[in-house]
Each structure stands twice: as structure tokens, then as C-alpha cells.
Structure 1
Amino acid sequence: MKISTKGRYGLTIMMELSAKFGEGPISLKSIAEKNQLSEHYLEQLIAPLRNAGLVKSIRGAYGGYILSKDPDTITAGDVIRILEGPISPVDFTEEDDPAKRNLWLRIRDSIAEVLDSTTLLDLIQYTDKSEADSYMFYI
């Protein structure tokens, strides 16, 4: 399974909204500029997220979008499924070799477990431990 720009940019939108959670609405224009993405494309992605109840739109001069739930209750899996559809590495049928079918199911379940156990809060709080440990300071 390859995650397309829909899923990747959708997670970007949701992470930006998570980072500003409780501070008021964020415009798609500001998200697009900050991440060097097309505002028009982000507008297409926000609609399914709004329809699924993950974000709310606020109208007006200082409007934009806010998360409809706390960032620690929305998972990466929620966002990916809304924008990409079901999580499956391959399309398989009941006639497939049982050993291969079992492999595809295990891969699907592993991917789903990672996506479903990673919240938006986890993503915005993530720091690359290896990068942090790679600096040496001498006094």
C-alpha cells in the first residue's frame, strides 16, 4: 500500500490544526503557505475530513478550520481511511493461496495497528530521538 498525497497532505492539515488546537481557527491558506502546498488541493482534502466530523469550519473574516475533537482522540488511521479508503496492501480474493492471503492479512493488520495507535498528538509531539542524540557538545 502506498499512501498518496491525499493521505500525506491530509495528515499535514490535521497536524497543523492539532498544533494550534484551542487557539482558534486556522486558514488553509496559512497551512498551504507554511508547508509549500497548493491551497486549492488542501480545499479538496478538507471537505471529506469535515464531512467525517474530524474538523469544523468557522466562517468569517477570522475564520478557518478547527479540530472537532481533541488531538489525542484522532488517529492517523482515521485520517488515512477517510482520504485513502480501506487499508490493504493488495486486493486479494478468497481464491488466493491461503499462505499468501495470510501474509497480506498480517501486513494489513500490522499497518492498521501502527496507524490506529498513533494519534495526532503523538505526531506533533514526536521528536526524532536519533537526531537529538547525535549532537555532541564539548565544554
Structure 2
Amino acid sequence: MELSCKTEYALLALLELVGEYNSGEPLQIRQIAAHQNIPDRYLEQLLATLRRGGLVRSQRGAKGGYILSQEPWKITLFDIVSCLDGTPSKVSNIDPASKTVESAVVQDIWQEIYNRSNDILREYTLQDLYDKRNHKRQLNIMYYI
């Protein structure tokens, strides 16, 4: 399983929104883009997709921007990946008539891997990512005496 650039940028943007969730204040695209080094136009498209998927809301006006549509501990990574990339139900579409025993075994294993990776994506939420990021930041703080 590979993390697409689109998904990575979306996760970075969503982490910014998690950081502002408790304040209730929306973040503007240019703020998120500048902080995470994401091209404005690309981020605009990603946030529009996430909005259509029900993961973020937009607010218009001078103090407008984007906010999470629900609590960060309720939004799973699976929700995000599904919104951006869709959720294929099978790993491969090999014609059953042309399947050999070997190809069936290989496909069964890849399907199991796919299912387990989706299970892991369902286990982690945006809040989990935010907490892990904050923990790593704390570990990276060095004190010099």
C-alpha cells in the first residue's frame, strides 16, 4: 500500500484543522498552505473533495475558511482515504475461469493484506495522528546545558 501525495497533503491539512478544532475558528487555505508548504490551488481542490465527502465544512466571509465537520476522534484514516481515493472491494479482477491454484493463493494473500491494511486505517483517527505528532515533537526537543 502506498501513500499518495494527494492523501499525504490532505492529512497534513487536516492535522492543521485538528489543531484549531477546539477554538472553533476556521482556517483559511492560505494559512494551511503556508504552514504545510502545500500549493494553494491544489489544497483548494483537496479541501473541496473533503467537503463533498463530509469531512470538513467551509465558512464564507472575511473570517471564513475550513473546519472539521465532526470531532477529530470520529474521523478515521479509512474515511479520509476512501473520500480521496475511493474504496475498491477487491485487490484484483482476475477472471475466475483463468485462475490457477497458484494465482488464487497469491490473490487470497493480497486480499488478506488489503483487508488488514483497511482494518488499521479504520483503527486510527485524526486525533491519534495529532497526538502522535505532538508526542514526536516533544521527543525532538533538545535541551542544551
> Could you tell me the TM-score, scaled by structure 2's length?
0.83
Question: Highest CA radius of gyration, 1 or 2?
Answer: 2
Partner of 2:21: 21
Q: Runs of 5+ in structure 2 lacking a partner?
A: none
| Offset of residue 4 of structure 1 | 1.4
Task: Answer yes or no: is the 8 Å Cα contact 1:89–1:104 preserved in 2.
Answer: no
More helix by share: 2
Which of 121, 124, 132 is the matching residue for 2:139?
132
SS in 2 for 1:74: coil
Structure 1 stretches of 4+ moved >2 Å: 87-97
Provide the C-alpha distance between the structure 1 equivalents of 2:80 and 2:60, rounded to a whole number of angstroms: 23
Task: Tell me the number of residue pairs that the alignment of Structure 1 and Structure 2 aligns.
Answer: 136
One-letter amino acid of the structure 1 residue matched with residue 61 of structure 2: G
Give the equivalent residue in structure 1 for 2:36.
35
Counterpart-to-counterpart distance in 2, 1:106 and 1:77 = 16
The answer for the alignment partner of 1:103 in structure 2 is 109
Structure 1: where are the runs of 5+ without partners? none
Aligned-pair identity in percent equals 35
Amino acid at match of 1:16: E
SS in 1 for 2:49: helix
Determine helix, strand or coil for the equivalent of 2:44.
helix
